[in-house]
Chains A and B, each alone.
Chain A
């Protein structure tokens, strides 16, 4: 029992990261109606900027800042492609574009970072925050979950309590119409891309030491992130948050059971399958066609 609790708590850092990435995915979907497959890859780019700088001997914290800037920049760059050429495209075309961009990003990323070549990722927040029922809870996990909760609260407030948020919600499918209402859609979209880029970068920096820091592995964290977003049906931030944390905890627990620990990256797949089958109990037609 104790071992199970320990491993569940050990999964919290990952859970917090999945939750944050998931909430960012929902945020992007609700504001610019893009299901973003490049989410984690954007953060990975920033993380590797940090690794490159620290490996070159620069001090840690300025490098973190520079890394976040790089992540923000990559996010904005992808956002520019999406808003310039695909603003009026269907949601499924937009998703297909981000898949294509993911292929390109990973290829460029692997090239620049030397493929499977091992890198040293500085642990930004070592040590434990407090003990819970005799189990150490790490600062990293408190931080990722805290960040995820913060982003959830902010997104919820922005979308439900501000005028611009309301406008954008009403019109996310029709950027042209929002533009006519005087909302600066282009600028806001880029802001969304930049903001999610910055947050995911920071989250990935925290989780990177736990994973093999290789450009592809980190970019593919988008899978649990989208699984979490599906738990929230790409609508609810709070359900997404819960889904992400739960995914991390289940993964953590699975890692202690020898017979299934090797298969734990199949967990997001099972969650996705279950959520989709559950959510489509009632028949519905594709939107308005």
Chain B
């Protein structure tokens, strides 16, 4: 992970240094001045890319956050606060954070559209408030002084460039961290993210907070750039058009933010030189954004796709696990890993689960089988905390789980997989494992991937085929080494040979990882070969339980599966 971040960061810093040197050394001062503006807009776009690009929400008040940052800098200047611009800019960024969090709060549980409405109304409110209270020092023409070292336009460009590089590198590391992975996961599927122990609220709020902070910084930079500001600099229209640009170029990519900055600054400049009205720019951004939304691909993604085509195709490598060792297995605290008593679930008048009792002993693989619609997935949902309500009790190693939301159950040691694959495709294989299990070393990740014949950690999930993604699901839950692993039809869609191999792996899970397994599966060969105990559900009731050989021989079980009595088959 960190190696990839370092590589990307070094490339970015090198590109910025070369580009910056070219700008300062070769361009006339007017263009250096414009280039500064490009970078400042780039910072604002990066802040927007974090919310709009990574978490997939519509945020329409980014310039208001920038306004908060700029206003703070102006105020500190007016109040003759100690320190210089660099310190004030930092404080301006921090001042924007509470606003970001407050606005993010209403969007925690509901999706993006509400955030769009909240942010747009905040932008309108901020517009009028700023117009009324005015920018500090606006009436007295008080200039915000630049840091002594970076006073000229040329050197201020270098200052902005340093800030840009610091933010870009920090965001690069964040994006590859577990927190960054959680943003993508939440965007793709909140349930799947919660199943890995990710707190949806913390994930979203952290994105808002960091985004507001970065936007606040861009406002502070703008204050030093222009000296004096007016409310117009942070108008709602500016926020709206920034959003359109971010959607168009893909502002969560390093190149997307720079391209966006270039478009925002250079377009009006070019139009001005041709004596054309400058607001045509917004029309083009609108068209560009609509186009990007209709194809589902931003400019940066298009460039990356074309660049990939130019490079020679790489074969997807399998993970290299030589010399790597699996992480230590979890300690088994109690003899009974999971104990379910009298679990009932009702959907209106339909009884999905009816007084179900089930035990999974530590160190074993238990099976849960039954025909379609028997309530197996409902059972997993209830145990893992994805249902609003159920009756009965779920105990993990003796401790009751009632009242705990899904992500806390996951952290306590109940991990599940899903029937349909819910891995965010933007992640890499290694990033996914890092999300699923905190604090694994690179060699442990490689070992787990190698153990399940999964691809190399650097491989993006988009290029992984559906069957292998199901293995990746299993890799994720076992990597966390929880007390109990609930596997929901892991062999669905696998060929017979693959299914046999998977069976061997599942049988090893208790010994290698210390987790008990509850396997929900239709593949009876698989169930027979790995489970020591099985429970059969039919119409929400337990109709049989015990060792596989005995249970699968019972007439009631045969009837549930075949729909007829055994005698009539024989007849």
Contacts and interface: CB of A to CB of B under 8 A. Distances in A.
Contacts of B280: 107, 111
B290 interface: yes
Interface stretch (A2-10, A52-60, A167-175, A266-274): A266-274
Contacts of A37: 116, 120
Interface in A259-289: 262-263, 265-266, 268-270, 272-273, 276-277, 279-280, 282-287, 289
Contacts of B116: 35, 37, 95-96, 99
A280 B117 contact: no
A62 to B, nearest CB: 30
A266 B293 contact: no
The 3 A-B residue pairs whose C-beta atoms are closest, nearest first, are: A104-B286, A276-B106, A266-B125
Contacts of A86: 293-294
B358 interface: no
Given A265-B128, A285-B386, A286-B111, A100 B286 contact: yes
Contacts of B58: 92, 95-96, 99
A100 B289 contact: yes
Contacts of B294: 85-86, 97
A263 B129 CA distance: 6
Interface in B317-369: none
B293 A289 contact: no
B286 A285 contact: no
Interface residues of B, number: 56
Nearest to A262: B132
Contact of B236 (A95, A220, A227, A277): A220
24 contacts: A91-B113, A92-B57, A92-B111, A93-B293, A100-B243, A100-B289, A100-B290, A103-B282, A103-B289, A104-B283, A104-B286, A220-B124, A223-B124, A226-B120, A227-B121, A230-B114, A263-B128, A265-B128, A268-B121, A269-B122, A270-B125, A276-B110, A285-B190, A286-B189
Interface of B: 56-58, 60, 102, 105-114, 116-118, 120-122, 124-125, 127-129, 132, 188-192, 236-237, 240-241, 243-244, 247, 277, 279-283, 285-287, 289-290, 293-294, 386, 388, 405, 422
B244 A99 contact: yes
A100 B244 contact: yes
Contacts of A108: 283
Given A99-B58, A107-B283, A107-B286, 18 more contacts: A96-B247, A97-B289, A99-B243, A100-B247, A103-B237, A104-B287, A111-B279, A111-B280, A220-B236, A226-B117, A263-B125, A268-B125, A269-B118, A269-B122, A269-B125, A272-B117, A276-B114, A283-B109
B236 A289 contact: no
Interface string A98-136: 011111111110110000000000000000000000000
Contact of B118 (A216, A262, A273): A273
Interface of A: 35, 37, 81, 85-86, 89, 91-93, 95-97, 99-108, 110-111, 216, 220, 222-223, 226-227, 230, 262-263, 265-266, 268-270, 272-273, 276-277, 279-280, 282-287, 289
B289 A92 contact: no
Given A92-B58, A276-B107, A103 B117 contact: no
A35 B280 CA distance: 26
B403 to A, nearest CB: 12
Contacts of A111: 277, 279-280
A203 to B, nearest CB: 19
Contacts of B405: 283
A282 B287 CA distance: 39
A152 B109 CA distance: 29
Nearest to B292: A100
A220 B60 CA distance: 13
B564 to A, nearest CB: 35
B117 A227 contact: yes
A117 to B, nearest CB: 13
Nearest to A276: B106
A102 B243 CA distance: 11
Nearest to A261: B132
A223 B240 CA distance: 13
A18 to B, nearest CB: 12
B42 to A, nearest CB: 19
B376 to A, nearest CB: 18
Contact of B290 (A97, A220, A227, A277): A97
A269 B243 CA distance: 19
A280 B113 contact: no
Given A108-B283, A269-B125, A280 B120 contact: no
Nearest to A95: B113
A89 B117 CA distance: 19
A262 B128 contact: yes
Which interface residue of B106, B108, B121, B243 has the most chain A CB atoms within 10 A? B121
B128 A107 contact: no
A99 B125 contact: no
Contacts of B129: 263, 266
Contacts of B279: 107, 110-111
Nearest to B406: A285
Contacts of A285: 190-191, 386
A285 B102 CA distance: 21
B290 A101 contact: yes
B105 A277 contact: yes
Contact of B244 (A81, A103, A230, A265): A103
Contacts of B132: 262-263
Which interface residue of B106, B191, B279 has the most chain A CB atoms within 10 A? B106
Given A99-B243, A103-B285, A107-B286, A92 B112 contact: yes
A81 B290 contact: yes
